[in-house]
Structure 1
Amino acid sequence: MISTGGGFTTFRWLCTIIGLIFYLGDIISDFLLTVQYFKRGHVIWATLTLVFIVSGSLCIQIFSYAWFKDDKKNNNYEEGNRPLSTGRLIGIHVLQIGIFTRYQHLLKRSFNALRLGQTQEDVQLRLFALATDLSMLRLFETFLESVPQLVLQLFIILEHNHRSTLQYISMAMSFLNIAWATVDYRRCFRRSLTQVNEMPAGIPTAVYLLYKIFTITPRILSLTIFIMLSTFSTIGMAFIWLLGTIWGYIQNTDFCTSQRLEHLYRATVGVILVFTFFNIKGEKTKKHMAVYYVLSTSQNLAAPIMLSLFKPASQGTDYFLPIIFFIFFSNSMGLGFLGLYYSLMHPRSEIGAQDEVDGSQVEQGVEQAPVEKAPKTRLDRFLQI
């Protein structure tokens, strides 16, 4: 088996702990904010905040349960580790603690591997497969809960001038969750696959993070501005989500083992595409990405212009100029980092690519038997970066 990069180190184990802390901090701060809104009589704000928490949690529990069942069916677990029974799996996910169970499994198995010095590639790939499943769920939760939560809290602060310390803590935790989940997914995903080159740490990781943060942030701000102009703008956001979902159907994604779950997956991808671009089929999408960011940038830049035209009173507020500047600056920086990352730092070549060229089926007049490709796993079919 070809090694695809570094092993599951003590630092990686500690990073898993940090990711768990960020996740807990985000959920707890949002829940406390919900309670605060209820106590102060802001029922609608409290309900919306709670809806985002519940929707994100329900989605990741459904996928987590399905993946546990798939792994159990395919005997995709380590020897000596018995799979969870169906009844226990149902109970864990009904109680909304499926993701914590996954954290427990990953931390326990990786700790044992580090303690025993298990550096074999199959052990390392198994650990990173567990980490990637977890990072996939965190990515879902981020775009279903953390990102919409930021839009909601920004709207409350800017439109209703309602500010509290807990709001800022909640927003800070959401932002940290976005940054961490994005980078963690990127690192785990490529390391868990045998046929692709792992992205190096350091500058490429930093550039990728900056590209995502500087393109997602103006998106959040511009959507907030549209809602400030009219709450009916949410219908437009729903239309963008619908387009992203339809795109998933057009691309004929095959991530899930059941068709019903595939519908939920495509709907979730539609939500993610409202805020950022991901390659949902692992194919060349240079043109698709270009179209996406042209449309996204146009909407981002139109938001402050429309705010000044249709809500001129906002020009006298303390947030108007900083938001205008930041949308223009952040969008430009994000596109700049995007170009830098994909032109110089993105690992395009697959590990097996050179073998396919060197080992063609006809070599020196001798016909070779075609090599049977390994069946795709959900890791191969998930969002590419």
Structure 2
Amino acid sequence: MIIYVVDIGVDFWVASRYFCQGQYSWSILILCFRGLSSLITQIFSYEWFKNDWEGTDTGKLKLVFLVHLFQCGIFIRYWFALKYGCQAAFKQTSSRDASEADPSIFIQKQAIDAVTDINMLRVFKTFLKIIPQLFLQIYILMEHDKTHFYQYAAIIMSFCGISLSMVDYQVSLRKSLPEKDEFRVLSKFMYVFYKLLTITSWILSISLITLLSVRISVILLIFLWICGFTWTLKQHTTFCKSAKMEYLYRTVVGIILIFSFFNIKGRRTKVCISIYYATHTVVTLSILFVYMFWKPSIIEEICFTIVGILTILSLVLGIIFLVAYYSHLHPTTYCRPQACSDEVDRVAGQKDSMKTGRFQNFLMQ
């Protein structure tokens, strides 16, 4: 909650600084990224509340809708996460072999599900606001020689936000799915470095294209979004209950796929992820070759050398971490497959609830 509030403050601080300097377009872009991400996360948050509270008091839902309308719905989710978390932490169980019907186990599941929902919304915010803002800040630093403290503060907050949202979501998601194995500490670090480095390399590449031509950069991003959106359509995702929300979800996933691979069906993705990062590698190297042989005057040679080295280094290290993670540190490589529960072992109604859960057929790799 503290990070969420500080992040809002940093956004308005940076936007106001640009506005005072007369850079109105940059200020507006930062606020637009903030507004768009907030709007979409509030929509998903309210829809999830409506689905979870189906058949309950309509007055309660109206109050929740009003809070989300004023862009404060995330605080309700933090409140429920804290409430269920405290109840689960201090609930005393009479037996060590508690069944699924035990109230303490149910409360613990509620707490995990509440945190998973929050982290899913944070993933949306990461790719709708944090990464676009990071791209904008890096582009501004590359285009202008003068730098200010608030620019570095925004970049540092962006990297922190990306790291936290990536690993927190992956951990909470695996806790919410009984058939998924949990992360080890080394796996968490490897996963974060793989994501951060590959995303950083791609952002630097897109920044170089933008320096060359804003129009080409926009066309490339739109083309990549269309490819990602088309792929989600072919996957026939079933994450949301309503068709409208499902298309909104696919639209958001298309944006996420511009910057990082996203497994939306919980299936093996060796071929898909190989094609994805092979394509990113080819595009990144092509951009660097264009700059190397063309040598446009819009960027200094020293600046390009530094950016080029950082781009290649982050790309190579990111791919190394990716291969190492999936080869040796992915939970499926060091955990034995868990035996499926027999029909008689399940509590009545549990099987149906497992089928209808939002995250039962979903896993971000």
Q: Same fold (TM over 0.5)?
A: yes
Which one of the candidate residues 27, 36, 60 is aligned to 2:17? 36
- Partner letter of residue 249 of structure 1? L
| Structure 1 SS opposite 2:229 | helix
Deviation at 1:318, TM superposition (A): 4.0
Say yes or no: does 1:377 pair with 2:357. yes
In structure 2, the residue matched to 1:98 is: 73
**TM-score (normalised: structure 2):** 0.88
Deviation at 1:188, TM superposition (A): 0.4
In structure 2, the residue matched to 1:285 is: 269
Alpha-carbon distance change, 27 to 309 in structure 1, aligned in 2, over 3 angstroms: farther
Which one of the candidate residues 58, 66, 69 is aligned to 2:50? 69
**TM-score (normalised: structure 1):** 0.84
1:341-381: CA deviation from partner (whole Å, max 9, x where unpaired): 1111212389875448xx8xxxxxxxxxxx97742311123
- Partner letter of residue 154 of structure 2? S
Query: How far apart, in 1, do the equivalents of 2:115 and 2:194 lie?
Result: 23
Say yes or no: does 1:85 pair with 2:60. yes
Query: How far apart, in 1, do the equivalents of 2:2 and 2:37 lie?
Result: 17
Query: How far apart, in 2, do the equivalents of 1:236 and 1:315 lie?
Result: 20
Gaps of 5+ in 2: 99-103, 343-349
Which one of the candidate residues 28, 32, 44 is aligned to 1:47? 28
Query: How far apart, in 2, do the equivalents of 1:328 and 1:191 lie?
Result: 35
Query: How far apart, in 2, do the equivalents of 1:273 and 1:71 lie?
Result: 28
- Partner letter of residue 206 of structure 2? L
In structure 1, the residue matched to 2:121 is: 137
Alpha-carbon distance change, 314 to 41 in structure 1, aligned in 2, over 3 angstroms: closer
Gaps of 5+ in 1: 1-19, 76-81, 360-370
1:152-207: CA deviation from partner (whole Å, max 9, x where unpaired): 1111111133422111111110110000000100110001111222222x111111
Q: RMSD of aligned C-alpha atoms?
A: 2.4
In structure 2, the residue matched to 1:338 is: 322
In structure 2, the residue matched to 1:79 is: none
Asked if the contact 1:196/1:351 (under 8 Å) is kept, the reply is no
- Partner letter of residue 384 of structure 1? M
User: Counterparts of 1:306-385 in structure 2 under 5 Å?
Assistant: 306-313=290-297, 316-348=300-332, 354-355=339-340, 374-385=354-365
Deviation at 1:299, TM superposition (A): 1.5
Query: How far apart, in 1, do the equivalents of 2:106 and 2:206 lie?
Result: 45
Alpha-carbon distance change, 83 to 207 in structure 1, aligned in 2, over 3 angstroms: farther
Query: How far apart, in 1, do the equivalents of 2:75 and 2:286 lie?
Result: 41
1:120-141: CA deviation from partner (whole Å, max 9, x where unpaired): 4332222111100000000000
Asked if the contact 2:84/2:107 (under 8 Å) is kept, the reply is no
In structure 1, the residue matched to 2:39 is: 58
Deviation at 1:241, TM superposition (A): 0.8
Deviation at 1:263, TM superposition (A): 0.7
Alpha-carbon distance change, 377 to 37 in structure 1, aligned in 2, over 3 angstroms: same
Asked if the contact 2:84/2:108 (under 8 Å) is kept, the reply is no
Query: How far apart, in 1, do the equivalents of 2:355 and 2:55 lie?
Result: 12
Query: How far apart, in 2, do the equivalents of 1:161 and 1:32 lie?
Result: 21
Say yes or no: does 1:23 pair with 2:7. no
In structure 2, the residue matched to 1:251 is: 235
Deviation at 1:336, TM superposition (A): 0.7
Say yes or no: does 1:212 pair with 2:195. yes
Q: Tell me the matched-pair count.
A: 347
Asked if the contact 2:36/2:128 (under 8 Å) is kept, the reply is yes
Asked if the contact 1:26/1:146 (under 8 Å) is kept, the reply is no
User: Counterparts of 1:206-245 in structure 2 under 5 Å?
Assistant: 206-232=189-215, 233-245=217-229
Query: How far apart, in 2, do the equivalents of 1:259 and 1:382 lie?
Result: 17
Alpha-carbon distance change, 83 to 191 in structure 1, aligned in 2, over 3 angstroms: farther
Query: How far apart, in 1, do the equivalents of 2:59 and 2:304 lie?
Result: 54
Identity of aligned residues (%): 36
